[in-house]
Amino acid sequence: MKITKFGHCCLLVEVNGVRILTDPGMFSVTQNEVTDIDVVLITHEHQDHLHIDSLKAVLQNNPKAKVVTNRGVGKLLEQEGISYVLLEDTQHKTVAGVLLEGFGQKHGVIYEEWGQVVNTGYFIANRFFYPGDALYDPKKPIEILALPVVGPWMKTSEAMEYAKRLKPKVVFPVHDALLAHSKAFIVPYEKFLPPEGISFTVFTDGETKEF
């Protein structure tokens, strides 16, 4: 499996020749030029994960790509005339030959119900879990975890305990656009996860790593 990070939560996941793009949001723009995309996975409707103009650009460059998402995002896509495949909590589908599984129902709490939209984490090919904006435990072995590290709905200790509880082999940070001027937030992960047997790796924007 190869993973390229375009910024924040926008990833290109390549598995068995299939190219899957996650969350084309407003904090990442490079994805607008990417071609040969087979699947676009969208975890929820907040603009740092779903930027409609970016999604339209992606689909214009990849007219055969299938959008996979939940009902919350689906309502917005229907308004734009964009078709999609519904995949939510407890559901699974094989899309373009790759097993995709949905986990979780709600976005992490910011304040009371404000911003707590439908959020679906996606497990890709029984190897890689991308939870979106929630610290949801899929209760199955995880090899690679995309770990949210900073946001108004979470704190470092919660993310750290989440990673330790799930015990993936490899963790890398996402939801990190707010770290553009400071990398101090990732220092605790670099310090405390490796002693737990969890490898922690950091992407620069546009970098590709193979797992």
pLDDT in tens, 62-111: 999 999 999 999 999 999 999 999 999 999 999 999 999 999 999 999 88
Tokens of 205: 């924007």
Residue-wise pLDDT tens digits, 53-73: 999 999 999 999 999 999 999
Q: What is the pLDDT of residue 186?
A: 87
CA dihedral 27, 29, 92, 90 (to 10 degrees): 10
Closest CA to 49 of 104, 100, 119: 119
Q: What is the pLDDT of residue 181?
A: 61
Q: What is the pLDDT of residue 113?
A: 86
Q: What is the pLDDT of residue 157?
A: 95
Residue-wise pLDDT tens digits, 108-133: 998 888 888 999 999 999 999 999 99
Compute the mean pLDDT over every residue in the chain, rounded to the nearest whole number. Answer: 95
Residue predicted with more confidence, 183 or 139: 139
**Residue 51 to residue 25: CA distance in whole angstroms:** 5
Sheet holding 144-148, edge to edge: 92-95, 98-103, 121-124, 128-130, 144-148, 170-174, 199-200
Residue 39: HSE in the Cβ half-sphere, 13 Å Cα cutoff: 26
Strands (DSSP E) found in the chain: 2-7, 10-15, 18-22, 39-41, 66-69, 85-86, 92-95, 98-103, 121-124, 128-130, 144-148, 170-174, 199-200, 208-210
DSSP 8-state code for residue 111? B
All structural domains of the chain, each given as residue ranges with its CATH number in brackets, are 2-203 (3.60.15.10)
Q: What is the pLDDT of residue 29?
A: 85
Residue predicted with more confidence, 135 or 28: 135
Judge contact between 10 and 207, C-beta under 8 A.
no
Mean pLDDT, residues 10-30: 96
Which residues, in sequence order, are CB contacts of 63 under 8 Å at separation 6+? none
pLDDT bin (cut points 50, 70, 90) of residue 139 is very high
Residue-wise pLDDT tens digits, 152-210: 999 999 999 999 999 999 999 999 987 766 677 789 999 999 999 999 999 999 999 99
